[in-house]
Structure 1
Amino acid sequence: MSASKRDELVQRALKTFYQGGFHAIGMDKLAKETGVSKTAIYKHFRTKEDLILAVLRLRDEQFRNWLMRRVAALAEAPGAQLLAIFDALDEWFRESDFRSCMFIKASSEYQDRAHPIHATAAEHKRLLLIYFTDLARRAGAKAPEALARELLTLKEGAIVLAHLFGPDDAARDARRTAERILQAELPAKG
């Protein structure tokens, strides 16, 4: 299988796992959904878990790049970008194929923190925390690391609630809470 075929397989597997979960999608269903035989899949990935790891790495790259670009497009100043995170989330929640967070799903299906899939999911959240911390630091936050953790907590909670109850209020409620936190944590304007 060529690199482009491998990449195409990972992209198709991402869509399949995102819609159906990791444990619920067996190799037969994965082969059917991706249009790639099990033999061909196993030529590139020793195990299903190796494929899941490749899928998670791709999703991490896609999601973080999308979020950073979208936040930058929605606001210029770092403080405003911290709020724009929730505006971007609101857009994502309203997409017709929104099915929650692939990393939350992965960590709940592979609960052992030492498992590579769980660790990869945790790494995604750690990289988002670094991004939030950088924005908080550039915005002049009194305690950028603590602020970033609080905003990440709001973001993750909003994802879960949007998945459980629908997109209508989750990101907006989280944004309003973030506004109150930012008023206390960022230097006053003027």
Structure 2
Amino acid sequence: MPAPPTEEQTRQDGEALLDAAEALFYEKGIRAVGMDEVRAASGLPLKRIYRLYPAKDDLVAAVLRRRDLRWRARLAAAVEVESEPRARLLAAFDWLGRWFAEPGYRGCAWINAFGELGPSSPAVLAEVRAHKAAFHAQLADWSRAAGLADPAPVQLLAEGAIVTAAIDADSAPARRARAAVEVLLDVAR
């Protein structure tokens, strides 16, 4: 009988699984990817996968949770190099434009997951809502610091740019949204 996996092996297996699942789900869609495909890409046996995540929805939720932390950290790092509040807010849209131009950009992973699963998966829905709340809170902080009393228009411009860029396969929506935010900032002065 083989020895049980160590904590380090469990961590490594978990990372390999999340890496493989995230790439597959983002590229092909959640429903289009079967667990056999995740098994092949991760190099882990199905038995091991299901020990780590008893259901596919658990795996999807874990993928979204981990992606959220990385995604929002990248955004914050790009914004926080600016010292002036107006420049910080506009930097968020500059970063979105760079993200949209990345090879393989397929839109927002959370919107995509919601579009596929809707409310049928409470665990996934919770991750989608948590991501959107955290992203909107970031935008709200930067918007208020820049002098906007109501951050909702900025949030809608960001979300609209994310969706439109995916549909059009073009980064231009980030520039258009940024220009609209500049108008909002000028009016707020």
TM over 0.5: yes
Aligned runs of 1:29-108 on 2, under 5 Å? Answer: 29-73=37-81, 75-108=82-115
Report the counterpart of residue 117 of structure 1 in structure 2.
Answer: 124
Report the counterpart of residue 26 of structure 1 in structure 2.
Answer: 34
Q: CA RMSD in A?
A: 1.6
Relative to structure 1, the CA distance from residue 113 to residue 44 in structure 2 (aligned partners, 3 Å threshold; closer, same or farther) is closer
- Asked if 1:159 is matched to 2:166, the reply is no
CA distance in 2, matches of 1:63, 1:154: 18
CA distance in 1, matches of 2:79, 2:58: 32
Shift of residue 45, structure 1, vs aligned partner: 0.7
4+ residue segments displaced more than 6 Å: none
Shift of residue 140, structure 1, vs aligned partner: 3.1
CA distance in 1, matches of 2:12, 2:67: 17
Contact 1:22 1:106 in 2 (8 A): yes
- Given residue 118 of structure 1, which amino acid in structure 2 is its aligned partner? L
- Asked if 1:176 is matched to 2:179, the reply is yes
The alignment of Structure 1 onto Structure 2 pairs a total of residues equal to 181
SS of the residue corresponding to residue 176 of structure 2 reads: helix
Contact 1:107 1:122 in 2 (8 A): no
Identify unmatched segments of 5+ residues in structure 2: 1-8
Bigger mean CA offset, 109-118 vs 16-25: 109-118
**TM-score normalised to the size of structure 1?**
0.89
Identify unmatched segments of 5+ residues in structure 1: none
The share of aligned pairs that are identical, in percent, is 34
- Given residue 8 of structure 1, which amino acid in structure 2 is its aligned partner? A
Shift of residue 18, structure 1, vs aligned partner: 0.9
Contact 1:106 1:117 in 2 (8 A): yes
Shift of residue 8, structure 1, vs aligned partner: 2.2
